[in-house]
Amino acid sequence: MTGTTLDDYTDRYARRVRGMTASEIRALFAVASRPEVVSLAGGAPYIAALPLDAVGEMLGKLGAEHGTTTLQYGIGQGTLELRERICEVMSLSGIDAACGASPEDVVVTVGGQQALDLVARLFLDPGDVVLAEGPTYVGALGVFQAAQAQVVHVPMDDQGLVPEALEVAIADVARSGRRAKFLYTIPTYQNPAGVTLSEERRERVLDICERAGLLVVEDDPYGQLGFEGDAPRPLRARRRDGVFYLSTFSKTFAPGLRVGWILAPHAVRDKLVIASEAQILCPSAYAQSAVATYLGTMPWREQLKVYREVYRERRDALLGALMDLMPAGTTWTRPAGGLFVWATLPEGLDAKAMMPRAIAARVAYVPGTGFFADGTGAGNMRLNFSFPSPERIREGVRRLASVMEQDIAMRRVFGAVGDPGPRRRQTGADTPGPDLA
């Protein structure tokens, strides 16, 4: 007897759709958005920190005074005005004309997510391998899965991606007869782990990729959100050949506008534009004008400082609450920027299995399984500190710690119900919790 399905179109889907599932994060949004739930799950920036009155007035003028252009079609590459502004933004991180950054090689995208998808469309054939940090950004995993590529994870520690492990991964892929097309990396304030690739390792990683003929896709949404001095220069500021630099205004201005970009090697630019036009025809002229006007008329550099202070306070609130309240055996990373902390649970706890009990206790997080292509990481969770207030963060950790203590007590009484599988932690990166034994 054959099985049944609620989807009448199952046998009509393309092969690349098979196995397509909702991400751990998207599945949480419905519950995590309830006001009674303290959400440590999503990665939403704190938009209330913006001067919303001034931004609202600016947006109104764009339609009222410039509607004939901002509400019209645009060009596939994006407006020259915005691409020039993007180059100004990148120059703050050291990606400037001296290292080959030019508005001609910038392609405006619908957020950083489309930038990822365009790179995948251009370079990935079914069966190709992508090397990526383990854990890595869940949205990237979805893009690579849709391209029918295989993700091979490379371990991290407190200094980011481990170069020796990268060399081993490249060699293992080659021995298996497969082809690794590129390294996907978030070297600065990594999502979800919060760690940053060290200065010395940046050069080593680039050298390894260059020797192996491996392209580098550098995703940098958080590089301007550092709390403890300047971040190391991006990889693209060090090498121009073979490095694709992706970023977005979602974390530094407004995610609702969905404006990101790719800085690509010149030879690839036209293909990126053609691929983008096939997808979306052109990015929103209104959204582009909004970002360009914001960068041209408002004190956005000062706004970055505001965000840094807000997020530093909230990071410290989360780290303090974890130290005070987490059960013994819990460890976590200490990010120097960005939006996330990566926690490792006490032995035997399963973050995914624990999730329904956490929601019942009105707290949400993202289980670590969502950040690995092979579904491991059940002994981990990602905690976000950018959106809730410091008081809400502490209350959320209190609720979460209570759920964990209950699970630990149940294990003592009934024994292990199941093995959560390999535990993914950054060796040396984790901050030990208090000794409560």
pLDDT at 429 over 60: no
Closest CA to 39 of 387, 368, 364: 364
pLDDT band for position 18 (cuts 50, 70, 90): low
pLDDT band for position 93 (cuts 50, 70, 90): very high
Give tens-digit pLDDT for 136-172.
999 999 999 999 999 999 999 999 999 999 999 999 9
Sheet holding 380-384, edge to edge: 366-367, 380-384, 340-344, 331-332, 431-432
- Which of the residue ranges 9-13, 109-113, 202-206, 364-368 would you say has the lowest mean pLDDT? 9-13
pLDDT at 413 over 90: no
Q: Give one word for 177, left, alpha or beta, with left for phi > 0 and alpha for psi -120 to 50.
A: left
Q: pLDDT at position 208, please?
A: 98
Class of the CATH-defined domain 69-297: alpha beta
pLDDT at 270 over 50: yes
pLDDT band for position 414 (cuts 50, 70, 90): confident
Q: pLDDT at position 8, please?
A: 76
Q: 263: which strand partners?
A: 106, 245
pLDDT band for position 32 (cuts 50, 70, 90): low
Structure tokens given for 345: 């649970």
Task: Tell me the pTM.
Answer: 0.91
Q: pLDDT at position 27, please?
A: 59
pLDDT band for position 382 (cuts 50, 70, 90): very high
The pLDDT > 90 percentage for the chain reads 83
If you search the block for the tokens 């202070």, which residue do you land on? 309
Q: pLDDT at position 176, please?
A: 94
Q: pLDDT at position 427, please?
A: 42
Q: Which residue has the higher pLDDT, 57 or 229?
A: 57
> Mean of the pLDDT values across residues 406-424?
71
What is the overall mean pLDDT for the chain?
Answer: 91
Peptide bond into 135 cis (omega under 30): yes
The distance of Cα 222 from the centroid of its chain, to the nearest Å, equals 8
Peptide bond into 192 cis (omega under 30): yes
pLDDT at 22 over 90: no
The pLDDT > 70 percentage for the chain reads 90
Residue 365 near residue 41 (C-beta atoms within 8 A): yes
Q: 39: which strand partners?
A: 364
> Mean of the pLDDT values across residues 334-345?
98
Residue 128 near residue 179 (C-beta atoms within 8 A): yes
pLDDT at 221 over 80: yes
- So where are the chain's domains? 18-50+302-413, 69-297
pLDDT band for position 424 (cuts 50, 70, 90): low
The distance of Cα 410 from the centroid of its chain, to the nearest Å, equals 34
CATH T-level fold of 18-50+302-413: Aspartate Aminotransferase, domain 1 (3.90.1150)
Q: pLDDT at position 1, please?
A: 43
> Mean of the pLDDT values across residues 366-378?
95
> Mean of the pLDDT values across residues 244-258?
97
pLDDT at 333 over 80: yes
